[in-house]
């Protein structure tokens, strides 16, 4: 099965997922029976909203006036000079209201919840960015809002906990397991199973049972649609490479989707290498994982030989997760999206470098993409163009980084 | 007749519902768990539902989550769960044993290989919490090939139109979860159980058991009037949790609670 044979199949980005939510062997619907009907209803409501011009108009308006779209595509002159290679552009999702790309999806799903008549919203959050985005839209639409967050993440992203509470959300700490994103999703699923008739679950990444991976992807497609137009206007051509960090995979698929069929554009997802690729020390699913089923979907998982899910580690709470979105797994098999990882140490260094050189403090998640992009830029000539998804801003991370730097010295 | 069908037939002939007991395999450790299973089996249990401990049991409430954590911490693995079943089979050749599990624990070993191994160890049926019939093709084929029965869930949120899909996939029995939510003891019984059982019976001749939130003898009695079987889990798991480190007290308590609940199955 050579790469040439794989790319010879025509790629139709709209052909996936199939009606049952499969991206080839990945995806699907693996949930308790109690949720099956809710997922079917959600799929139907989503399809109707997609075809409804009034819904789409309102979403576009809200993305513009509330979230702050379009976001700029910024030529990072200092980073480019520093690396001395390819031209580096940053897609500035960090400038969005609430501080990350997460608001694109939260707004879309909130409008959908309103349409379905559900006035109680639950969500999980890791870094807190999805929680903050969800809390914001719930405040705005007058929904009750409960956010599940691992106790460890509440500590390392304390600023975001306060922001959520300030906007009226109830933040419930989760003490099970390793107290991070995976456990928060388990707890949100338990809430949903219990309150499914009144509650909509705003899942925060391109993961989970169908229709979530498709729906979340679609709400983030705007990133790539804008970026494509912007780079064509600024560089008069398509970029050579697109680089995004990958937790569940929403900011990455959002940027990549419009370029999937432009086979000359290299697409790279960057996972969390943590302290190195050893069990329990990282969250690079494609470096240390294999096929499995977790939290609604079949995909690459970090697990032991017996199917128990491994612990994970990353300096960034938003990438600290044992599974990856099914669409990424599919396009990796096809050789269309490649995956790399960045370690905690590399990320900390680039976090400081980007802050100092560009006056932009990136989220630790996004810094993973940046760390690989800088490495890559050095390998490429100055005639090449790289677009990095700066998925979020790093305000939430400064206290944690300060603590870590103190420990280092 | 297979062991599952026989157990329901025996209970029916005695004009009572079958008593289905849930315990987590390996909670709090292998030996104590084996003793706990033997204790409840000696106290009127017709069918044992063995929870296979998983790191991420998203359909379970706190009681069962903690039980799984204890079992995994004590070194429970897939191989050890099979060993537990083989040990039980040596003195309980006729009692049906059904696994209550999550799909990754099956899938990761290869579905066919896992089902074959489970059957060889003496397992009679498989209930996979996060596997709807739509995704169960491999499990159904393996179940048929190796004569392992499948169990599927109907929920209060399941519309009538979906029930035939579920009953068509099941070969052992149907499990009606009496409420939206996760496992765990509840003070109040959910409503609408007899109606739900009737709705399900319109599509199948398989036994229908009812579970989730049932913990007291009166509740068992009430459900036994309409269902073929009554499942009690967390109330038994609590007997283990509350007597950790006191094996004699644990056995006495488990035996007393199981006997009391078993007495509630009479119609
Ligand atoms: C700023 C930022 N980027 C990226 C991620 C990772 O999520 P995803 O892979 O869905 O984009 C997060 C998650 O919390 C985040 O906050």
pLDDT digits 0-9 by tens, A1-29: 344 444 557 899 999 999 999 999 999 99
State the DSSP code for A86: S
> What 3-state class would DSSP assign to B28?
coil
> What 3-state class would DSSP assign to B241?
helix
State yes or no: is B260 an active-site residue.
no
Q: Which residue of chain B has the CA closest to A26?
A: B135
pLDDT at A409 over 80: no
Which pLDDT score, from 0 to 100, does residue A324 have?
98
Question: By mean pLDDT, which of B91-95, B187-191, B204-208 is the weakest?
Answer: B187-191
A366 lines ligand 1 (CB under 6 A): yes
Q: What is the pLDDT of residues A310-348, one digit of tens each?
A: 999 999 999 999 999 999 999 999 999 999 999 999 999
Q: Which residues of B touch A301 (CB under 8 A)?
A: 104
Q: What is the pLDDT of residues B224-257, one digit of tens each?
A: 999 999 999 999 999 999 999 999 999 999 999 9
Q: Which residues of B touch A312 (CB under 8 A)?
A: none
Instruction: Kindly report the backbone phi and psi dihedral angles of residue B20, in degrees, each rounded to the nearest multiple of 5, phi listed first.
Output: -105, 120
> What 3-state class would DSSP assign to A261?
coil
Which pLDDT score, from 0 to 100, does residue A5 have?
44
- Burial of B240: CB neighbours in 10 Å, binned 0-12, 13-18, 19+: buried
Which pLDDT score, from 0 to 100, does residue B190 have?
85
Which pLDDT score, from 0 to 100, does residue A1 have?
37
Instruction: For B35-45, give one letter per residue: b (16+ CB within 10 A) or e.
Output: ebbbbbbebbb
pLDDT at A383 over 60: yes
Q: Which of B55, B129, B132 sits opposite A308 (nearest CB)?
A: B55
Mean of the per-residue pLDDT values of chain B: 97
- B189 pLDDT band (50/70/90 cuts)? confident
Which pLDDT score, from 0 to 100, does residue A4 have?
43
Which pLDDT score, from 0 to 100, does residue A8 have?
59
A126 lines ligand 1 (CB under 6 A): yes
Distance, in Å, from the CA atom of B109 to the CA atom of B128, rounded to the nearest integer, reads 15
Q: What is the pLDDT of residues A266-322, one digit of tens each?
A: 999 999 999 999 999 999 999 999 999 999 999 999 999 999 999 999 999 999 999
Which pLDDT score, from 0 to 100, does residue A3 have?
44
Angle between helices B234-241 and B247-263 (to 10 degrees): 160
Distance, in Å, from the CA atom of B33 to the CA atom of B244, rounded to the nearest integer, reads 11
Q: Which residues of B touch A306 (CB under 8 A)?
A: 77-78, 105, 108
Distance B11 CA to ligand 1 centre (A): 54
A370 lines ligand 1 (CB under 6 A): no
Residues 15-44 of A with CB under 8 A from B: 20, 28-38
B212, B179 contact by CB (below 8 A): yes
Q: What is the pLDDT of residues A51-91, one digit of tens each?
A: 999 999 999 999 999 999 999 999 999 999 999 999 999 99
Residue with the nearest Cα to atom 4 of ligand 1?
A365
Q: Mutation test of the interface with chain B: which of A17, A19, A148, A308, choosing the one with the most B Cβ atoms within 10 A?
A: A308
A363 lines ligand 1 (CB under 6 A): yes
A208 lines ligand 1 (CB under 6 A): no
CA distances from residue A350 to A247, A374, A376, B79 in whole angstroms, order as listed: 18, 9, 13, 46
> What 3-state class would DSSP assign to B117?
helix
Determine the distance in angstroms separating the CA of A51 from the nearest CA of chain B, rounded to an integer.
26
Strands of the sheet with A170-174, listed across from one edge: A170-174, A144-150, A120-125, A199-201
> What 3-state class would DSSP assign to A217?
helix
Distance A271 CA to ligand 1 centre (A): 11
Count of alpha carbons within 13 Å of A294, Cβ hemisphere only? 31
List, by residue number, the catalytic residues of A. Answer: 102, 124, 391
For the segment A150-166, the average pLDDT, to the nearest whole number, is 95
Alpha helix (H) ranges present in B147-265?
163-169, 193-201, 217-224, 234-241, 247-263
Interchain contact, A293 vs B130, CB within 8 Å: yes
For the segment A204-229, the average pLDDT, to the nearest whole number, is 98
């Amino acid at each position: 099965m050579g790469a040439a044979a794989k790319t010879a199949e025509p790629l139709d980005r709209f052909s996936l997922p199939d009606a049952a939510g499969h991206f080839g062997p990945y995806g699907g619907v693996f949930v308790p029976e109690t949720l099956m009907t809710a997922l079917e209803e959600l799929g139907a409501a989503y399809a109707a909203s997609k075809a409804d011009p009034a819904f789409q108009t309102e979403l576009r308006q809200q993305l513009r006036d509330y979230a702050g779209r379009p976001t700029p595509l910024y030529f990072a002159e200092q980073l480019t000079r520093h690396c001395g290679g390819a031209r580096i552009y940053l897609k500035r999702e960090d400038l969005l209201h609430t501080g990350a790309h997460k608001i694109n999806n939260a707004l879309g799903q909130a409008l959908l919840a309103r349409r379905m008549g559900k006035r109680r919203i639950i969500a999980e959050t890791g870094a807190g960015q999805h929680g903050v985005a969800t809390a914001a839209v719930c405040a705005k639409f007058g929904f009750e809002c409960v956010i599940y967050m691992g106790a460890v993440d509440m500590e390392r992203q304390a600023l975001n906990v306060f922001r959520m509470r300030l906007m009226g959300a109830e933040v419930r700490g989760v003490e099970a397991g390793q107290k991070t994103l995976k456990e928060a999703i388990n707890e949100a699923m338990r809430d949903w199973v219990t309150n499914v008739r009144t509650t909509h679950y705003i899942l925060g990444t391109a993961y989970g049972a169908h229709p979530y991976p498709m729906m979340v992807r679609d709400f983030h497609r705007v990133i790539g649609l804008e970026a494509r137009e912007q780079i064509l206007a600024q560089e008069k051509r398509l970029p050579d490479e697109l680089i995004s960090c990958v937790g569940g995979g929403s900011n990455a698929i959002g940027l990549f989707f419009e370029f999937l069929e432009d086979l000359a554009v290299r697409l790279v997802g960057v996972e969390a290498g943590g302290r190195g690729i050893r069990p329990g020390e990282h969250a690079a699913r494609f470096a240390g994982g294999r096929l499995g089923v977790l939290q609604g979907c079949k995909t690459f998982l970090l697990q032991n030989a017996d199917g128990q899910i491994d612990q994970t580690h990353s300096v960034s709470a938003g990438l600290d997760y044992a599974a990856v979105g099914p669409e990424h797994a599919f396009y990796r098999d096809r050789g269309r999206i490649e995956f790399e990882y960045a370690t905690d140490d590399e990320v900390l260094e680039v976090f400081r470098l980007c802050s100092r050189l560009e006056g932009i403090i990136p989220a630790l998640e996004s810094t993973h993409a940046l760390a690989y992009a800088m490495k890559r830029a050095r390998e490429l000539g100055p005639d090449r163009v790289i677009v990095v998804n700066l998925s979020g801003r790093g305000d939430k991370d400064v206290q944690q980084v300060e603590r870590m730097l103190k420990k280092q010295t | 007749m297979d062991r599952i069908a026989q157990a329901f037939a025996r209970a029916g002939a005695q004009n009572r519902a079958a008593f289905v007991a849930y315990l987590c395999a390996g909670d709090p450790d292998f030996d104590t768990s084996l003793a706990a299973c033997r204790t409840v089996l000696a106290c009127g249990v017709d069918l044992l539902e063995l929870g296979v401990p998983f790191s991420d049991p998203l359909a379970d409430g706190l009681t069962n989550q903690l039980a799984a954590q204890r079992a995994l911490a004590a070194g429970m693995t897939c191989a050890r769960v099979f060993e537990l079943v083989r040990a039980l089979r040596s003195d309980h050749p006729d009692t049906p044993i059904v696994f209550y599990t999550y799909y990754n624990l099956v899938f990761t070993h290869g579905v066919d290989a896992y089902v074959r191994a489970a059957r060889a160890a003496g397992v009679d049926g498989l209930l996979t919490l996060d596997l709807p019939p739509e995704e169960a093709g491999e499990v159904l084929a393996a179940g048929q090939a190796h004569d392992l029965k499948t169990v599927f869930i109907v929920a209060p949120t399941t519309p009538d139109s979906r029930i035939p899909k579920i009953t068509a996939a099941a070969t052992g029995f149907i499990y009606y979860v009496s409420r939206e939510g996760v496992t765990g003891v509840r003070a109040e019984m959910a409503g609408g159980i007899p109606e739900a059982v009737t709705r399900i019976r319109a599509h199948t001749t398989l036994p229908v058991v009812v579970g989730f939130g049932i913990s007291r003898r009166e509740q068992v009695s009430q459900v036994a009037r309409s269902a073929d079987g009554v499942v009690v889990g967390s109330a038994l798991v609590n007997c283990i949790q509350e007597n950790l480190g006191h094996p004699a007290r644990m056995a006495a308590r488990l035996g007393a609670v199981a006997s009391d609940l078993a007495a509630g199955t009479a119609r």
